Amino acid sequence: MFNNLKQHTMEEKMELDRKVPLKQDIDYIFLFKGYTIMVLKNGTNEVVDLPLCTMEQLLTDLPFFRIHRSFLVNLRRVRELEIQKDKLLIRMRGHELPVARRRRRQLLQLLGTVN
């Protein structure tokens, strides 16, 4: 059968564990100018030397959802949604995170079951 999930190296898993011992402390992860940045619940940011798609696969044991090509959100941390001119946004820590049109329906369904 086809296995399109990459087997993660021990180094990748250790990188994540070293940066964030408690993965549930991650609020969201985003890309900025080629860097993957984690925003933690204590308000700090950590740069991780892993692509966002790898982070997404390493966090499958927690309710993380890719809301946009540049954002991965911990659904347990979502408290506020906002609609602005036909755009859906998640407000977290004073930031507005865009939700891709093709991800809206699935996000709303997941939020109904997670929180």
The pLDDT, as a whole number, for residue 89 is: 94
Structural domain includes residue 3: no
Structural domain includes residue 109: yes
Which range marks the domain in which residue 71 is found?
A: 10-114
The whole-model pTM stands at 0.80
Structural domain includes residue 44: yes
27 in Cβ contact with 41 (< 8 Å): yes
CATH of the domain at 57: 2.40.50.1020
The structure tokens listed for 75 are 């659904």
The pLDDT, as a whole number, for residue 1 is: 36
Structural domain includes residue 27: yes
Structural domain includes residue 108: yes
The pLDDT, as a whole number, for residue 24 is: 85
Structural domain includes residue 4: no
Which of the residues in the chain have pLDDT under 50? 1-5, 115
36 in Cβ contact with 51 (< 8 Å): yes
Structural domain includes residue 5: no
Structural domain includes residue 90: yes
The pLDDT, as a whole number, for residue 8 is: 64
How many residues belong to the chain? 115
Domains: count for the chain: 1
Which DSSP letter does residue 70 get? T
H helices within the chain, ranges in order? Answer: 10-19, 52-58, 104-114
